[in-house]
Amino acid sequence: MIKVSGAISLYRKMAWIISLTLILQAFSIRAVNSETAGKPFDICTPLELTYSVGLRDIVEKSYREFGYDVHWHILPANRCIAMVDRGILDADLVRTTSVIEHYQNLILIPVRLITIKIDLYGIKRPDVPPPEPEILLADENIAVAYPRNSLLIEKMVKNPASIGTDDGAHMLKLLRNGRVRLILLPKVELNRLQKKGVDMSDLVLIRENYIEYPGFHVVNRKHKDLVDRLAAKFLPAIAEANIPGKQ
């Protein structure tokens, strides 16, 4: 049995230890932030898509809380990821795991920022259900308009007549002019077209969520010490954010 006086003494010691720990953590955070204060941090994004503004806000706020001065670079998808892999740029806004696997110097932040969903449209409903995306996009007899910013889809495309574009209106034009038989339209782009009042009454939704994959923030390996800290920042921020494509 512990005496009251002994319990009080033990409590005071524990409180002192906890207080000291918090003080040391605070000094540690300030020290880290003082090292990075004003230091430029270059992040690229392949396109200014509908959802990217909300994501950029979350990502930029997290880095700024660590003291970094964030600079954004809008670049073609392949060039963007390659420059991060080479360390010329520090991070890529959002990528899929299948793309990251092809590079040696990229580290994924293990918090899903978005789920990218892409629908399959045509002018008329096909006689048979569409095959899996890998098979459809490898069919040299079927031209498809697809989102050019998606390296995952681009790697599946084998038909030289298929066309990559990130403009939904351009996809519709290609479909209506007979340049392609089908289009892969991201939901965020569909929402943008609908808000603009674009007529899509002649389109047939062949398969909703035909392609679906998660997106993660990616940093160059030289910033591996930021992985856990960024994950801790992203998780609550994403949970509270209203971002199209978020799950």
For residues 96 and 85, give the distance between their C-alpha atoms in angstroms, rounded to a whole number.
Answer: 14
**Is the model's pLDDT at 218 over the cut of 60?**
yes
Q: What mean pLDDT value characterizes the chain?
A: 85
Q: Is residue 164 part of a domain?
A: yes
Q: How confident is the model at residue 4 (pLDDT cuts 50, 70, 90)?
A: very low
User: Which residues neighbour 218 within 8 Å (Cβ) at sequence distance 6 or greater?
Assistant: 81, 84, 91, 92, 94, 95, 100, 106, 107, 108, 109
Model pLDDT, residue 25? 53
Per-residue pLDDT, 8: 45
Same domain for 142 and 190, yes or no, is yes
Query: Residue 192: what pLDDT?
Result: 85
Identity of residue 199: D
Query: Token pair 């479909």 is at which residue?
Result: 175
Over residues 156-180, mean pLDDT: 95
Residue 235 sits in which domain range? 36-115+214-240
More confident residue, 216 or 152: 216
Give the whole-angstrom CA distance, residue 50 versus residue 45. Answer: 12
Residues 161, 101: one domain? no
Whether 11 is covered by a domain: the verdict is no
Q: Which residue has the higher pLDDT, 10 or 229?
A: 229
| pLDDT for residue 65 | 94
Res. 223: pLDDT tops 70: yes
Which pLDDT score is estimated for 77?
82
Domain count, the chain: 2
For 18-52, what is the HEC assignment?
A: HHHHHHHHHHHHHHHHHHHCCEEEEEEECCCCCCH
The answer to whether residue 17 is domain-embedded is no
In a domain, 138, yes or no: yes
**Mind listing the pLDDT tens digit for each residue in 123-142?**
998 888 999 999 999 999 99
**219 in the same domain as 151:** no
- Based on the fold, state whether residues 40 and 83 are members of the same structural domain: yes
- Quick check: is 26 in a domain? no
Q: Judge if 225 and 193 occupy the same domain.
A: no
**Claim to verify: residue 220 and residue 209 sit in the same structural domain:** no
Same domain, 56 and 73: yes
CATH of the domain at 162: 3.40.190.10
Whole-number pLDDT of residue 96: 87
Residues 85 and 124 in one domain: no
Q: Is 185 inside any structural domain?
A: yes
Confidence of residue 1 (pLDDT cuts 50, 70, 90): very low
pLDDT in tens, 92-130: 999 988 888 889 999 999 999 988 899 999 999 888 899
Q: Count other C-beta atoms under 10 Å from residue 129's C-beta.
A: 8
User: Does residue 86 fall inside a structural domain?
Assistant: yes
In this structure, are 55 and 105 located in the same domain?
yes
How much of the chain exceeds pLDDT 70, in percent?
Answer: 81
> Alpha helices of 66-176 — where are they, by DSSP H?
77-85, 97-100, 133-136, 151-154, 168-176
What's the DSSP call for residue 157? -
Q: What is the pLDDT of residues 25-38, one digit of tens each?
A: 555 555 455 566 77
Chain mean position to CA 176: 31
Give the pLDDT band of residue 243 (cuts 50, 70, 90): low
Comparison of pLDDT for 118 and 18, the residue scoring more: 118
- The torsion angle over the Cα atoms of residues 113, 130, 150 and 238, rounded to 10 degrees, is -10
CA distance 183 to 212: 15
Mean pLDDT value of segment 219-230: 97
One domain, residues 187 and 221: no
Kindly report, residue by residue over 44-87, the tens digit of the pLDDT.
987 655 557 788 999 999 999 999 999 999 888 889 999 999 99
